Structure formats: C-alpha cells, structure tokens
Amino acid sequence: MSARSRLPSELQQLSVLIAVNLVDMVGLMLVLPILPFYASDLGASPERIGQLIAAFAIAQLIAAPFWGRLSDRYGRRPALVIGLAASALAFLVFAYAHSIWLLFLSRLIQGAGGGTTGVAQAYVADTVQPKERAKALGWLSASTNVGVVLGPVIGGLAVHLDRAAPGLIACGLCAVNAVLAWHWLPESRSGLGSHPRDRKPVWHAAWQVLRHPTHAVPRFVWIYGIGMLAFSCLTSLVALYLKEEHGVTESTIGYFFTYIGALNILMRLVLLGPIVRRVGEVRAMRLGAAALILGLLAYPAAGNLWQLVLVIPLVPIGTALLFPATTSLMSRYSDPAEVGTTMGVAQTYAGTARVVAPILGAIVFQRIGHQWPFLAAAGMMALVSVLAFKLQGLAGPSGEYPVAMGPGARAAPRATTAPPQ
C-alpha cells in the first residue's frame, strides 16, 4: 500500500484514538479535583487523602505491563475498551461512595483501568509511519492536556447539580466512550495469534530494564523514567513553590496552570512535528532534555513573577520534545510482537517515578530548601542527557534494530533509515 493511500486510514484511526483519549481524560479530571473535598467530608485526614491520590498511580503502574501484554496477544482495541469499562465502573463507585474505603476501591479500579496509556501509545506505533510517530504521539499527549483543562471546569459545574453528578457524568462519558471505541476504533494489530504464546512472564521485561540498562530499549525506558521523575518533582511542588516564594494564592494559581497547559498543547500540536522532521527524533530528544534542564534551573533563579512567566515555556518545550520522541524511538527499537509490553513497562517505570517524586521532593523542599528539588531534578535531567548522547551504534550496519531487552536477542527489519545521531 502506498504512503498516499495509507494516509487517510492513519489519520482516521489516530483521530478516533485521540477523541477516545480526550474523553477519557475529561472523565478522570472531572472527579480528581473534587476528590479531596469528598474525602474530607467523609472524615479523611490529609495523610489519608494523599494515600487516596497515590492509590491511582500505584494501581496504574502495576497494571500497565499486563495491559500491554494483553494488547500484544489479543489486540489493542479489546484492551482499550476493557480499560474504559473499568473506568466507568470506578466512577460509578465514586458517585455513590459513602466511606473512605469505597473511595479507595474507586481509585484502585480507576488506576487499573488507566493503565492502558501504554496500549494507546502502542496503537500509535502500529498505525503511524515511523517518521510521523513522534508527532502523532505528541497529538495524543496534547489531547490529554486538553482533557486536563476541560475536566475540572465540567466537574466544577456538575457539583452544583448533585453530589453524585460528577461521578455519574464521568461514568456516562466512559461508558459511551467504550461503545464508540468498540464500533469506531479499528484493530491496529495484524496477525493476532500468530506469535508464540510461550512468552516469558510480563515482569521479565521490566527486570531486563534493570539488568541490561545499556541495551537499546532499556536505555530509552531509563530516559523516559528518569525524565518523568524530574518532571514530577516540578509538577508536584510548583504550586507550593509559587505560594511560598512568590505569594501566589488559590485564586490566582489557576492562571499559571492554564498558561502551562496552553503551552503544552501548542508545542505538541503545532511545533513538535516540524521540529522532529527537521532534526530527527534523537536530536529532538536531546533538545528536550536540554530545555528541561534550563527550565528547572530557571524556576528558582527567577527573581519575580514576570521573570518566571518568561522562563516557564522552557519546561513545556522540553517535555513536548523529550517524551514523544523517546516513546517513538522506544517503539521503533522494540520487537513488533512486544510493543505493547514495552510501552506498558515504560509506563510502570514512569508511574513509579510519579509516586516517588512527590514524596522525595516534599522532603527536600521542607528540610533542605525550596529551590533544591528543582536543582536535584535538573541533576536527574543531566543524567538523562548523558544517556541520550550515548546512542551511537544502536542501529547496526545491516539496517536492523536491536529489539530485545537482553543479550541474544534477534533483530527486526527496520522500517526506515536510522535516526540521525
């Protein structure tokens, strides 16, 4: 099939996936901002509320590789639809939760259903040509950011209708989303059932990342995971930092998050594709790491709010380049039969980072100094840069990608020329 004849099909599949991802994120963010208020009404302490928020991430990081393996074996669409159905159930429990433990149950089911992020990324890898993959992954990420903006607005309006209304609306959105995904989202995996079923356990792939960190796919997973650790240090503390250092209040903090969200959307929708086409995925990843380092260093260096407004774009620029480019490279270097598993493993490491970063960042913020979490995160990103600049030689002279996470791996034919170094 020619590239021209494939293009409409790719765009149609990607458009449906982006719409599904957007609606799913709207549902999640519709209830997340009001979770602390519901929990507080049920007598939860601040510590218990923190555990409620963390429960989602813990369930997500555990479930992610299993969703990936399921999608490799039975297809991306069934995994996505089951995940959406699980989210619908979770929101229904949330709507009628009359105890803290039901809220915990809701969060755990939400996290398990939300573990399909890697499946969505694998769907993009299946359907989009390698040279356009980073841009497509950026679009998918942009839809997440749009959902982050829209969800709290809808939730804030829904809460005035009835206490159960936000949960019920989120449940309805996910249920409709699951039906639409089943009918309108075509299966992206070809040759289902043709791959051997005597694969190693799913956690073997996660272990290989630790065992062989210098191999191609594990290196990209490390870049992704450490990058997420550094970024999560920033996101978990930025509101508190702005309050303590610049006097930002509850009534004005929303403007900063709206500004950051708009920059994220702009970068992923408009600028990511042209930059990747011009410099390639590897250089885009390196540029993203460099921009994120500068942004993390600039936060504590800004002397006032106006200076901060000027340097804030460095972080959205960095993340918009770093994460989609790394994910795209990860998919290109993976065994075609294990792309879903690889993406799931990457989400497990990223999820672990999202759990650990707020805890460690808060300790450093409180006990050492307000600027030190940002400086430590910049140090983490320096490590990412070292990994990103040691990528020469991953693609062999025979035009093949090394695909497995350990030694003795077979190689898969490469779809395109090697990424520019």
Catalogue all structural domains in the chain, each as residue range(s) with its CATH number.
1-184 (1.20.1250.20), 202-412 (1.20.1250.20)
Q: What is the DSSP string of 161-221?
A: T-TTHHHHHHHHHHHHHHHHHHHHS-----STT-S-S-PPPHHHHHHHHHH-TTSHHHHHH
Tokens representing residue 26 in the block: 């709207």
* Rg, C-alpha atoms of the chain: 21
Mean pLDDT within 12-16: 78
Cα atoms in the Cβ-side hemisphere of radius 13 Å centred on 29? 18
Task: Express as a percent the part of the chain with pLDDT over 70.
Answer: 85
Instruction: Indicate whether 417 pLDDT > 70.
Output: no
pLDDT of amino acid 256: 76
The whole-number pLDDT of residue 359 equals 81
Over residues 355-380, mean pLDDT: 86
Higher pLDDT, 131 or 109: 109
Amino acid found at 170: A
The separation between CA 323 and the C-alpha centre of its own chain, rounded to angstroms, equals: 8
pLDDT band at 250 (very low <50, low <70, confident <90, very high): low
Residue 300 has a CB neighbour count (10 Å cut-off) of 17
Task: Give whole-number Cα distances, 90 to 109, 114, 163, 382, in Å.
Answer: 5, 11, 16, 39
pLDDT classification of 95: cutoffs 50, 70, 90: very high
Q: Across 33-47, 157-171, 210-224, which has the greatest mean pLDDT?
A: 157-171
Query: Average pLDDT of 358-368?
Result: 83
Mean pLDDT of 60-74: 85
150 φ, ψ to 5°?
-75, -40
Q: Binning pLDDT at 50, 70 and 90, where does residue 199 land?
A: low
CA angle 241, 245, 246 (to 5 degrees): 105
Q: Is the pLDDT of residue 354 over 60?
A: yes
Please, which pLDDT band fits residue 170 given cuts at 50, 70 and 90?
very high
**Where does the pLDDT of residue 155 fall: very low under 50, low under 70, confident under 90, or very high at 90 and above?**
confident
- Joined together, the tokens standing for residue 126 give 């299946």
Percent of the chain's residues with pLDDT above 90: 14
Greater pLDDT, 191 or 135: 135
Predicted pLDDT of residue 264: 84
- Give the lowest-confidence range in 113-127, 145-159, 247-261, 321-335: 247-261
Statement: the pTM of the whole predicted model exceeds 0.95: no
